[in-house]
Chains A and B, each alone.
Chain A
Amino acid sequence: MSNSKFTAGVIPEMMKKYIHKLASKGTRIDGRGFDEIRPLKITKGYAKRAEGSALVELGRTKVLVGVKIEIGTPFPDTPNMGILTTNAELAPLASPTFEPGPPGEEAIELARVVDRGIREGHAIDLEKLVIEEGEKVWIVFVDIHVLDYDGNLFDASGYGALAALADAIVPASRYELGDDYKLPVQHYPVPVTFAKIGNWIVADPNLDEESIASARLTVTTNEEGKINAMQKGLSGTFTYEEVQKVINMSMDIGRQVREIILGDSDGKED
């Protein structure tokens, strides 16, 4: 229970062996198949001060993503585009290994990987977020708040970001710019993360698997089967064939997840 920051990071050697042994028998520590993700539940509209939000429960990992939309000045080099900005906080309540303070490299990598998926996958059309070219645009803030960390924050956060964007309302009336309207979401680029354990590759690693994985690969694909973002992590490597396999698995799993994100699991009272 009272794992300190230091000791929580010490992984028992026997756990590594056990997970490898299970993999050799075709199974995983929680009994899942290699290409099976944990139960996924998405509650849209959870945080009502946000313009859009979604609480994601991926197994025992819990992430709350909120979208705030405000007015600002466009970047000088993109006067005809709104602004998307993604930020992640690994709140210290989520794990004994998370510390208070400004975002560390892990939180920054998380925010950037999620951002890349949404941005490069053109989830939202930034050109539609211009109020006055060169002067006034909508800024969409995507804030990822990790509440309970049991592995695979990339996917939980990515799903939360998409669901929160799909839930978001542009608060035009607050600025006397006409009626509020739904933030136009045009694509659903879905990230799926894989871990390499020994010579095996598993989808949606939980914390135990993540802690003994040699390498990690996140592939974000959209509903048209296009690839929008990738991120490889950790000190191990993938073979060329493994990468191909991961991309294909990501598309398959992505399709299932997209249905859940698009579903009407809505936390709103009305």
Chain B
Amino acid sequence: MNERKGVRKIVVPGELIKEVGKPGNGVFVENGKMYSAYLGIVETRAGYVNVIPLSGCYIPKKGDKVIGKIIDIAPMNWVVDINAPYYAPLHVNDVPWHVDFGYTARYLSIGDVVLAKVSNVNELGQVWITLKEPGLRKLEGGHIIKISPFKVPRVIGKGGSMIQMLKEYTGCRIYVGQNGMIWISGSPEGMITVIKAIRMIENEAHTYGLTDRIKAFLEEERGEENGN
């Protein structure tokens, strides 16, 4: 998120882009003119003009931390739904355990949820993910909810301020996947509060003073709890 104040300019698919620069992501050129390919916002960076989409499915990028759901099992890999157009295979070589051929189901079963990292994406949109890095793992307990991947920066907040506040007020552990999947673990009351707050952020992402309103909401919830 950049630091500019004010209403951001939105472009629609096919809209002429007036900003000057080399065509970057999310734009296309026709007869020497640049147009937006998405419903999105224009951003100029390092001489390139990009359109950042405002909606749609998650488009995986190398290095993203994502939360995914195991939806199928094969002898040498699992198939993981990471909320993208394509499923991501998780190969036995990319997990921190030694898995013998055919024994994949012993480690992760259908319906399990993992915190993984996108290790590679190719031109065709095929994605590979890994669990081989500290912190990456199967997530146990808690609950996952899904938001638009484009609202992730709002949930995290500037410098992580929003998510930090949610954690402090509720005592919950929270992981926000870049793919819009959020894992929450803590007391039932805390989790319900976090989920309500995230839904508020999602619905009011376009308004001013969101952080203050979320803070007021969290104060109120905490007050109610103490009152009980």
Q: Give residues in A with beta carbon < 8 Å to B.
A: 1-3, 6-7, 10-15, 17-18, 21-22, 25, 27, 29, 31
Contacts and interface: CB of A to CB of B under 8 A. Distances in A.
A27 B192 contact: yes
Contacts of A18: 141-143, 191
Given A2-B57, A2-B84, A14-B139, A21 B188 contact: yes
Given A1-B57, A2-B85, A27-B192, A10 B69 contact: yes
A12 B69 CA distance: 7
A22 B188 CA distance: 6
B11 to A, nearest CB: 21
B141 A7 contact: no
10 contacts: A1-B149, A2-B57, A6-B71, A7-B69, A10-B110, A12-B112, A15-B143, A18-B142, A31-B192, A31-B196
A14 B85 contact: no
Nearest to B80: A7
A13 B111 contact: yes
Contact of A14 (B81, B87, B143, B146): B143
B37 to A, nearest CB: 18
A11 B70 CA distance: 10
Given A2-B83, A27-B188, A31-B192, A14 B56 contact: no
B127 interface: no
A5 to B, nearest CB: 11
Given A2-B83, A3-B81, A7-B81, A14 B188 contact: no
B58 A1 contact: yes
Nearest to A28: B192
7 smallest A-B Cβ distances: which pairs?
A18-B143, A2-B57, A7-B81, A13-B111, A7-B71, A1-B57, A10-B71
B64 to A, nearest CB: 15
B140 interface: yes
Contact of A13 (B58, B81, B112): B112
Interface string B127-146: 00000000000011111101
B40 interface: no
Given A10-B69, A22-B192, A31-B196, 7 more contacts: A1-B58, A10-B81, A13-B109, A13-B111, A14-B140, A15-B143, A18-B141
B191 to A, nearest CB: 8
A27 B85 CA distance: 35
A25 B81 CA distance: 31
A84 B70 CA distance: 46
Interface in B41-95: 56-58, 69-71, 81, 83-85, 87
B192 A12 contact: no
B180 interface: yes
Contacts of A21: 188
B32 to A, nearest CB: 34
A49 B146 CA distance: 38
A143 B139 CA distance: 44
B148 interface: yes
A13 B109 CA distance: 9
Contact of B111 (A1, A12, A29): A12
Nearest to B149: A1
Contacts of A12: 69, 111-113, 144
B83 A1 contact: yes
Contact of B56 (A1, A13, A29, A31): A1
B111 A11 contact: yes
Nearest to B81: A7
Contacts of B146: 1
A218 to B, nearest CB: 27
A25 B188 contact: yes
Nearest to B184: A18
A3 B188 CA distance: 27
B87 A7 contact: yes
